């Protein structure tokens, strides 16, 4: 589908004006109300629960307000402090709503800071506040806050996919960079940026049309050149300007534009020529009045790598022990229903290009590899490099069930234990696939391949080859242990949803 690039005057906006609350206010109020209910429930619930525990241990009833440690005034002070810290650290900032881990991190820091401060006050003033009060209120309250925030985030992302609860954006810059931003923002509406117009250098409209050809991002309304960005913001009732690279956008023009925008209601964002760079690697350092962006070079050795290996060993060993009944049941099901070996061993390419034998439960007939060539022309899933079929005739009935719930991947836990794979990492490719790689794709071999990864939780077999490579390289460049934990959590959801599993 080709894209429409047109010059027109547009009125109306999704943003409320003239005193009507905006989507930020509506969503912020929802978070305030839910935070209040969660914190009050957690604090008073901990107070009452600890009374019951003390009553049980003492063998006689203890009145809820009969002892100073459970005085209601303490609970009220804790509630006020907790809610105040959540607000002070900006846990409800609309700029972090809906995407990324910043919201969750701020909730965790605010909660730990509140209870840490309370512990100091109790110690300094020798208050008789029971430790059990801390042990109950903090974990229950924090877990409930994170769960409720997650539910609200899921709701917000659903609204954004429908075009609501988003910032209206005007892009300004050259046609290539504007087209790139339009594609990326259109690909991820959950981020909350809805492109409503663009300002280009004079006479470059046709260039933008060529850049956006066959990209279904919706019409890009060209409302002027880069010298009239503020007028475009007013005309389209936008609230955000994203500046990209252009020779006609001098530092003086950008600064003058920032002066014109309404503080607090209109925002200016500068998009550097960086893509797929994780936040922890980016640092902004003002030098001589210039906001220089420092990008750290990724490192693949040292303590960070050792901690990942330790996590892999401990987690894979625990998972093997916990899932041993499932492993035995799968082995029995394969042996009883189909002749042939239980395990399927396949030569894959690992870290630094070293080959290894990847293990899987066999889900296909014994001669599956010999029948691959005749089925390639019938592939209806996967992509140009990766062969997939939604209804592969080589898959056995038991194998279809195993694939549906990703149980065929469980033997790879032993590959992880042996150090050939990691729990999280790029997809382990076949040698035949590697022969078709472009040079830059070989960067995926800087880390160990994984049982799961970003490719697993973002569509699996539904992804194009380019998108699969982009996700793998993003992980290689930006992986962290906290990011690995988030991917493990998302993998569990993807397995339950069975999205992209053939």
Both 327 and 467 in one domain: the answer is yes
Distance between CA 6 and CA 473 in Å, rounded?
35
**Continuous segment of H or E residues that includes residue 91:** none
Both 310 and 401 in one domain: the answer is yes
Per-residue tokens: 323: 């899932």
What is the predicted pLDDT for the residue at 45? Answer: 84
Judge whether 23 and 192 are in contact, CB under 8 Å.
no
Q: For 150-153, which contacts have Cβ atoms below 8 Å and span 24 or more sequence positions?
A: 152/27, 152/30, 152/31, 152/34, 153/97, 153/98, 153/103
Both 212 and 156 in one domain: the answer is no
CA dist 133 → 112, 115, 143, 378 (Å): 14, 11, 16, 63
Both 266 and 341 in one domain: the answer is no
Q: Give the CATH number for residue 180.
A: 3.40.50.620
Report the relative pairing of strands 5-7 and 220-225 from DSSP bridges: parallel
What is the predicted pLDDT for the residue at 490? Answer: 84
Both 126 and 231 in one domain: the answer is no
What is the predicted pLDDT for the residue at 280? Answer: 61
DSSP state of 65: T
446 within domain boundaries: yes
Both 257 and 327 in one domain: the answer is no
Q: By C-alpha distance, which of 299, 191, 171, 318 is closest to 246?
A: 171
291 within domain boundaries: no
Distance between CA 467 and CA 473 in Å, rounded?
10
Both 89 and 146 in one domain: the answer is yes
Burial environment of residue 163 by CB neighbours within 10 A (0 to 12, 13 to 18, 19 or more): exposed
Distance between CA 413 and CA 418 in Å, rounded?
9
DSSP state of 297: P
What is the predicted pLDDT for the residue at 396? Answer: 86
283 within domain boundaries: no
Q: Quick one: how many helices (H) and strands (E) in the chain?
A: 17, 14
Both 324 and 440 in one domain: the answer is yes
End of a domain among 135, 161, 187?
161
For tokens 């009507």, name the residue.
20
CA dist 40 → 129, 242, 440 (Å): 18, 40, 53
Judge whether 141 and 107 are in contact, CB under 8 Å.
no
Judge whether 422 and 300 are in contact, CB under 8 Å.
no
375 within domain boundaries: yes
Q: By C-alpha distance, which of 6, 95, 82 is closest to 37?
A: 82
Judge whether 424 and 479 are in contact, CB under 8 Å.
yes
Name the stretches of the chain with pLDDT < 50: 1-21, 62, 64-70, 213-217, 380-383, 502
pLDDT in tens, 202-215: 766 565 555 554 34
Both 254 and 324 in one domain: the answer is no
CA 309: distance to chain centroid?
23
Residues shown for the chain: 502
Both 308 and 389 in one domain: the answer is yes
What is the predicted pLDDT for the residue at 102? Answer: 85
Judge whether 275 and 263 are in contact, CB under 8 Å.
no
CA 458: distance to chain centroid?
10
- Quote the number of domains for the chain: 3
75 within domain boundaries: yes
Judge whether 39 and 140 are in contact, CB under 8 Å.
no
pTM greater than the 0.85 cutoff? no
DSSP state of 97: S
Distance between CA 407 and CA 410 in Å, rounded?
6
End of a domain among 161, 187, 203?
161
288 within domain boundaries: no
Both 333 and 461 in one domain: the answer is yes
Distance between CA 446 and CA 378 in Å, rounded?
34
pLDDT in tens, 123-161: 787 776 666 677 788 899 999 999 999 999 999 999 998
Both 115 and 218 in one domain: the answer is no
Distance between CA 418 and CA 333 in Å, rounded?
26
Full 3-state SS string of 398-421: HHHHHHHCCHHHCCHHHHHHCCCC
Say whether 283 sits in a helix, a strand or coil.
strand
Structural domain boundaries, residue 472: 303-497
108 within domain boundaries: yes
What is the predicted pLDDT for the residue at 312? Answer: 94
135 within domain boundaries: yes
End of a domain among 108, 126, 161?
161
**Continuous segment of H or E residues that includes residue 55:** helix 23-58
């Amino acid at each position: 589908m080709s894209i429409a690039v047109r010059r027109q005057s547009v009125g109306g906006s999704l943003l409320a004006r003239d005193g009507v609350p905006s989507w930020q206010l509506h969503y912020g109020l929802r978070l305030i109300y839910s935070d209040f209910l969660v914190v009050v429930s957690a604090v008073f619930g901990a107070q009452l629960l600890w009374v019951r525990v003390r009553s049980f241990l003492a063998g006689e009833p203890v009145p809820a307000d009969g002892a100073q440690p459970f005085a209601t005034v303490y609970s009220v002070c804790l509630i006020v402090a907790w809610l105040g810290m959540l607000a002070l650290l900006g846990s409800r900032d609309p700029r972090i709503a809906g995407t990324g881990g910043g919201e969750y991190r701020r909730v965790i820091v605010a909660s730990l800071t509140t209870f840490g401060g309370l512990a100091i006050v109790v110690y300094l003033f020798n208050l008789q506040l029971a430790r059990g009060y801390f042990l109950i209120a903090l974990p229950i309250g924090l877990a409930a806050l994170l769960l409720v925030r997650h539910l609200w985030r899921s709701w917000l992302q659903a609204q954004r996919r429908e075009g609501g609860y988003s910032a209206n954006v005007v892009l300004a810059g050259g046609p290539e960079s504007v087209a790139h931003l339009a594609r990326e923002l259109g690909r991820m509406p959950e981020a909350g940026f809805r492109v409503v117009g663009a300002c280009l250098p004079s006479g470059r409209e046709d260039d933008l049309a060529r850049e956006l050809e066959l990209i279904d991002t919706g019409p890009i309304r060209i409302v002027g050149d880069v010298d009239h960005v503020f007028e475009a913001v007013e005309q389209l009732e936008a609230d955000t300007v994203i500046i990209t690279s252009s020779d006609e956008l001098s530092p003086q023009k950008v600064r003058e534009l920032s002066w014109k925008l309404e503080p607090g209601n209109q925002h200016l964002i500068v998009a550097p020529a960086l893509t797929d760079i994780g936040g922890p690697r980016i640092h902004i350092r003002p030098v001589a009045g210039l906001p220089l962006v420092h990008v750290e070079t990724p490192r693949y050795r040292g303590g960070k790598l050792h901690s990942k290996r330790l996590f892999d060993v401990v987690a894979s060993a625990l998972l093997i022990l916990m899932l041993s009944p499932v492993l035995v049941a799968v082995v029995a099901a394969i042996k009883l229903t189909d002749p042939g070996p239980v395990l399927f061993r396949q030569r894959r390419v690992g870290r630094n290009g070293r080959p290894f034998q990847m293990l899987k439960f066999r889900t296909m007939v014994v001669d599956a590899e010999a029948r691959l060539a005749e089925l390639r022309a019938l592939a209806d899933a996967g992509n140009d490099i990766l062969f997939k079929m939604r209804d592969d005739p080589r898959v056995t009935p038991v194998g279809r069930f195993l694939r549906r719930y990703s149980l065929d991947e469980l033997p790879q836990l032993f590959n992880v234990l042996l150090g050939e794979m990691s729990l999280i990492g790029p997809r382990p490719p076949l040698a035949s696939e590697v022969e078709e790689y472009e040079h830059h794709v070989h960067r995926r071999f800087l880390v160990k391949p994984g049982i799961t990864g970003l490719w697993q939780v973002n569509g699996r077999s539904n992804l194009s080859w380019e998108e699969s490579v982009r996700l793998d390289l993003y992980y290689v460049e930006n992986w962290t242990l906290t990011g690995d934990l988030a991917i493990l959590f998302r993998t569990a959801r993807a397995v339950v949803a069975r999205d992209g599993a053939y």
